[in-house]
Copies of this chain bind each other. A is one copy, B any other.
Amino acid sequence: MISVVLVGTGNVAQNLFQALDKTAHVKVEQVLGRNPEHLTFAIDKAPLNTNFDNIPNADVYILAVSDNAIATVAEKFKNKKGLVVHTSGATSMQELKDCDRYGVFYPLQTFTIGKTISFQDIPICLEVSNINDRQLVQSLGKSLSNNVQFINTEERRALHIAAVFVNNFTNYMYTMGEEICMDNGVDFSLLLPLIKETAAKLDNLPPLLAQTGPAKRGDQNTLHNHLKFIKNKQQREIYTLLSNAIKRTHGEKL
C-alpha cells in the first residue's frame, strides 16, 4: 500500500485523484488545496485540507499544481521524509531540490474537467533524484498505467514541446477549421470522422509517410484557389507558412 498526499485542484489533480481513488494499492491520505471550494471534487472520498502548515506524513506527495506554483508549494514539503514529485512536463526536477527526496510523475495526456479518462494507456514519465526511489515511483505509476517510463528532464522537455505541436497546435488547426466552416455556413461536425482517422492513421504509418494534400502534391492550382478563397489574414498567414513547410519537408522546390 502506497500512501499519497495529493496537492492541487485543477484538471490534472482532479483526474489523478479519480484514478488514485480507484486503485487498491494506493491510499489517498489527504487532498490539499488553498481554496476549500475547489476541493469539492474529493468531498466524502478523502480527507480535505487547506492548511499547508499541517500536512500528514505519506510515502509520496504529488504536487499537481500549475508550473509557476511548484517552487513555492515545494517550500512546504522540504522537511518531509516522503518522496515529493511534481506532474509537469515543462518543469525541471531541480525545482524540488530543497526537498529531501524528489522526482517527477508526469502523465502525458490532456485532461478536461468533468471528463474522466482511463489512465490505463496514459504514458507516465518518471524521474527521481535518488536511485533508491525508482521502485516506489514505478510501482505508483504501474498502479495507474500500463505504460510507465523513466524519462530525464531534457527528454521530458522535448516530449513536452512535441506535445505542444501535436496537442495545442493541432487543436488550433481544429479551431481554424471550425471558423472556416462557421463563416461559410457548413457544419463542422462533418469533419469529425476525418479528424479521427487522421489520428488513427498513426497506428500504422509515421506522419511523414501519412502526409497528403495540395502542398504535399505540389498542386499550385489548388493552393492558389484556396488562398483566393481565404479572406482572414491570420488564416492566410498560417495556410501559407504551413504549405511552404510541407513543400520543403517533402522536397518540392519552391
Contacts and interface: CB of A to CB of B under 8 A. Distances in A.
Interface of A: 67-68, 90, 108-110, 112, 115, 117, 121-123, 125, 147, 149, 151, 154-155, 157-178, 180-181, 183-186, 188, 190-208, 210-216, 219, 221-222, 225-226, 229-230, 234, 237-239, 241-242, 245-246, 248-249
Contacts of A163: 177, 191, 194
Nearest to A235: B165
A90 B180 contact: no
A50 to B, nearest CB: 24
Contacts of A167: 194-195, 198, 212-213
A36 to B, nearest CB: 24
B110 A198 contact: yes
B161 A166 contact: no
Given A123-B193, A167-B212, 18 more contacts: A115-B204, A122-B193, A147-B193, A151-B186, A155-B186, A158-B183, A161-B230, A165-B180, A167-B195, A168-B212, A169-B238, A170-B174, A171-B210, A174-B202, A174-B210, A178-B207, A196-B200, A237-B245
A110 B209 CA distance: 13
Contacts of A200: 196
Contacts of A249: 172, 175, 234
Contacts of A203: 192
Most buried by B among A162, A177, A186: A162
A164 B164 CA distance: 20
A67 to B, nearest CB: 7
A207 B90 contact: no
B172 A159 contact: no
Most buried by B among A158, A171, A225: A171
A229 B241 CA distance: 21
Top-3 shortest CB links A-B: A168-B213, A158-B184, A174-B207
Nearest to A213: B168
A244 B110 CA distance: 21
